[in-house]
Amino acid sequence: MIVTGLMTGTSADALDVALVDFSVIRGEDGDELVMDLLDHGEVPFPSDLGRDLLRLLELGSVPLSLVADVDSRLGVLSADAVQGILDANRVDCDLVVSHGQTVQHLLSDGVVRGTLQVGQPAWIAERTGCPVLSDVRARDVAAGGQGAPLASMLDSLLFADASEATAAVNLGGIANITVLSPGSPPVAYDTGPANALIDVMARRITGDPRGIDRDGALAGRGRVVEPLLEDLLAEPYYRQPAPKSTGKELFHAGHLDRALASRPGLDPHDVIATVTRLTALTVAAECHRHGVTRAVVSGGGTHNPALMTELRRALGDGVVLEPIDSTGLPGDAKEAALMALLGWLTWHGLPATVASCTGASRATPAGRLTPGRRPLILPEPRPHLPHRLRVTTRPEPSTSVEGDL
């Protein structure tokens, strides 16, 4: 079954696309799901759409007309991205899974009251003729869960055979962790910011509204301000028990500015060095909390050497830090491949969430289906979850969708 997964996270930097061919291999100890990554890449957002996405994410209130407009424009871009990767690989796909852009993840007292993603799937179904699964978080929320982190399903299958306590950590705008300890149910939650506050400072320093601390150069020019770090670490979210999730509703520019208010005149390079260490410390603390000896990282933050150096130091000698690429899954493709996996599971009548991770009362399928050109015909449900996931890639994965759409 060929599935295209689409993801755009809280950084709103680009649309990630993964084209995956799933097959099941029967083994003596259960089914192995093989995820053959045919292609992956990212489609940068045109500057006007990127700017409007950030307005939706970062401003307290925006006109409803902007929400409706971005919903359609992201739907159109998503449709083009899917058609582009299918054409480049000369294949058809059986299902598209589109996460869309989370514009609200509403929390009160640690309970998720609602979660809203935009990126109208009708455009994808109409353009490509493929059925589309979208709104993949809401069902888990309806079952009492956080609707996040969804990566826990992929992580628990990918590291099903881990013989040591392993943390899968994704460093997007927000950082999330899945802890897999032999003999214990998996645990997963958002640890706090990964790049969210780093991006805020990078934008202030460079004056570029979509700038990043490319290769950690800005943090490399600053020194950590300990009292500021302590103030930031006092944020109660870090001490809240799991399951828990967060977003830019909490970790935005205003969060940083509250801590900066009592310290005027700090060198912005020192501030970016401080928030870089904040990410490293808060991620490492959660690895230590669970006695992890191996941390497997993915996401855009892995491209920031300043952050990776801080993280290695914060983890200490007792924890091996490695990129998720060592499992065969390229780190930049993880979240789009995750979407494809959630689609495969839901299509086959299987749960797409891990209730112990999201805090839901039960594991549920994900999302809702928009029919493609043909009526929806679902296959016979599978009786069991696969026991593990194996990722295979083509010898030279092409990045055919990058930038040419």
| Cβ closest to Mg ion, residue 270 vs residue 402 | 402
Nearer to ligand ADP, 199 or 286 (CB): 199
Looking at the DSSP assignment, which residues form a beta bridge with residue 61?
none
Strand 320-323 relative to strand 294-298: parallel, antiparallel, unpaired?
Answer: parallel
**320 has which bridge partners?**
294
- Which one among 4, 11, 195, 298 touches Mg ion, defined by CB under 5 A? 11
Whether the CB-CB separation of 82 and 3 falls below 8 Å is answered with no
Partner from ligand ADP, Mg ion, none binding residue 299, C-beta < 5-8 Å depending on class: ligand ADP
Query: In whole angstroms, how close is the CB of 202 to ligand ADP at the nearest point?
Result: 7
If one asks whether residue 299 binds ligand ADP (CB under 6 A), the answer comes out as yes
Closest approach of ligand ADP to the CB of residue 387, in Å? 28
Stretch that binds ligand ADP, among 67-75, 192-200, 223-231, 252-260 (CB under 6 A): 192-200
**Site residues (CB under 6 A) for ligand ADP, limited to 337-396:** none
Shortest Å, Cβ 307 to ligand ADP: 7
Out of 9, 100, 145, 222, the only residue in the binding site for Mg ion (CB under 5 A) is: 9
Distance (Å, rounded) from C-alpha 89 to C-alpha 323?
Answer: 27
- Give the separation between CA 188 and CA 272, rounded to whole angstroms: 27
The answer to whether 193 contacts ligand ADP (rule: CB under 6 A) is: no
Please choose, out of 1-9, 141-149, 279-287, 392-400, the segment that lies near Mg ion by the rule CB under 5 A: 1-9
Q: Which does 359 bind (CB under 5 to 8 A by kind): Mg ion, ligand ADP, none?
A: none
Task: Tell me which of 300, 330, 367, 372 binds ligand ADP, using CB under 6 A.
Answer: 300
3-state DSSP assignment of residue 296: strand
Please report how close the Cβ of residue 339 comes to Mg ion at its closest, in angstroms: 13
Q: By the 8 A CB rule, do 148 and 358 touch?
A: yes
Q: Residue 67 Cβ, how far from ligand ADP at the closest point, in Å?
A: 19
Does residue 212 bind ligand ADP (CB under 6 A)? yes
* 24, 177, 229, 284, 390 from 325: Cα distances, Å: 22, 16, 31, 20, 12
Q: How far apart are CA 245 and CA 176, in angstroms?
A: 9
80 binds ligand ADP (CB under 6 A): no
Say how many C-beta atoms besides its own lie within 10 A of residue 3's C-beta: 25
Task: Say whether residue 13 binds Mg ion (CB under 5 A).
Answer: yes
Stretch that binds Mg ion, among 11-19, 123-131, 326-334, 346-354 (CB under 5 A): 11-19
Rounded to an integer, what is the distance from CA 368 to the centroid of its chain?
19
Taking the complex as a whole, the smallest distance from the CB of residue 57 to ligand ADP amounts, in Å, to 10
Of residues 327-346, those binding ligand ADP (CB under 6 A)? 335
Contact 254, 60 (CB under 8 A): no
222 binds ligand ADP (CB under 6 A): no
Taking alpha carbons only, the member of 39, 34, 302, 351 closest to residue 170 is 302
Q: How many CA atoms lie within 13 A of 7 on its CB side?
A: 28
Find where tokens 């306590």 sit: 165
Type of residue found at 233:
L
Measuring CA to CA, which residue among 150, 74, 169, 105 is closest to residue 336? 150
Select 9 or 372, whichever has its Cβ closest to ligand ADP.
9
Residue 390's binding partner out of ligand ADP, Mg ion, none, with CB under 5 to 8 Å set by partner kind: none
User: Secondary structure of the chain: what % helix, strand, coil (to 5)?
Assistant: 40, 25, 35
- Binding of ligand ADP at residue 172 (CB under 6 A)? yes
Residue 10 near which of Mg ion, ligand ADP, none (CB within 5-8 Å, type-dependent): ligand ADP
> Which residue lies nearer to ligand ADP by CB, 179 or 333?
333
Partner in contact with 367, chosen from Mg ion, ligand ADP, none, beta carbon below 5 to 8 Å by kind? none
Q: Is 389 exposed, middle or buried (0-12, 13-18, 19+ CB in 10 A)?
A: buried
Work out what residue 331 binds among ligand ADP, Mg ion, none; the CB cut-off runs from 5 to 8 Å by kind: none
At a CB cut-off of 8 Å and minimum separation 6, what does 272 contact?
Answer: 198, 201, 202, 205, 213, 218, 219, 222
Task: Tell whether residue 199 is a contact of ligand ADP (CB under 6 A).
Answer: yes
Binding residues: 9-16
Question: Which parts of this chain interact with Mg ion (CB under 5 A)?
Answer: 9, 11, 13
Query: Under the rule (CB under 6 A), what is the footprint of ligand ADP?
Result: 9-11, 13, 172-173, 195, 198-199, 212-216, 299-301, 303-304, 335
